Amino acid sequence: MHQPRRALDKLPPVGLEFKIHLLRRLLDSAPEPLTVSQIMEGGPNRSFASGWYAVKALERIGVAVSVPKTAQCRVARYRLADGAAEVVGEFVVDWLRQEPRPRLSPLPGSKQYQQVLAVLGEYPDSWFTVNELTSKLSGVRKCARRPTVELYAAGYLLRRLSDGGKPGRVEYQYRLDPDAAPHARALLDA
């Protein structure tokens, strides 16, 4: 199984998060086959064509296989290739560990940062897209994108993929990093 692992390691970064989601769905359903729509469930919002092409890419590198259509099921279904579960599982775990949290870096006491941190501090267990944050800042700030991304890069926020984005576009959700909460409070007080 060295070939599939090398092929997985060589997957281009564009669309990799989506493929990781597909691999996780295939792992969770093993050995039951799933349709492309079922494999895409709960992941980033992409078009059916994007899902189909991603599954076909996984099939080409040998980690997924198509299941023949039957009289009972005339829809294409896919499952992990025989013997691929361990390799795919290791790859997914390695990838999930790869994106470490950004290290906490000091930021100046900016009003824009304070506005975003105030909203996130009010709802510490909630995740927000930039658009949702912007709507909570209505009348104060036209867009929360830049300060939110800068707060994430400085280690104050956590980030995850949103499942409500538009097809073909990655959208993230943000929340206050509990480990950085004391630093966020200090920034709010600045």
What would the pLDDT profile of 98-120 be if each residue is shown by its tens digit? Answer: 556 678 888 888 888 888 999 99
Closest CA to 130 of 118, 109, 113, 116: 116
Position 167 scores a pLDDT of 58
Higher pLDDT, residue 56 or 97? 56
Average pLDDT for the chain: 83
CB neighbour list of residue 104: distance below 8 Å, 6 or more residues apart: 154, 155, 156, 180, 183
What three-state secondary structure class fits 172? strand
**How far apart are alpha carbons 20 and 172 in whole angstroms?**
16
Quote the CA–CA distance of 140 and 185 in Å, as a whole number. Answer: 20
Residue pointed to by tokens 């980690």: 63
pLDDT tens, position by position, 67-98: 988 778 788 899 999 989 999 988 888 776 65
Q: What does each C-alpha distance from 169 to 82, 94, 131, 165, 166 come to in angstroms?
A: 32, 24, 14, 6, 6
Phi, psi of 164 (to 5 degrees): -110, 15
Q: Tell me whether the omega of the peptide bond preceding residue 4 falls within 30 degrees of 0, making it cis.
A: no
* The pLDDT of residue 170: 64
Structural domains for the chain: 2-98 (1.10.10.10), 111-189 (1.10.10.10)
C-alpha triplet 56, 60, 64: angle, nearest 5°: 70
What is the reported pTM? 0.55
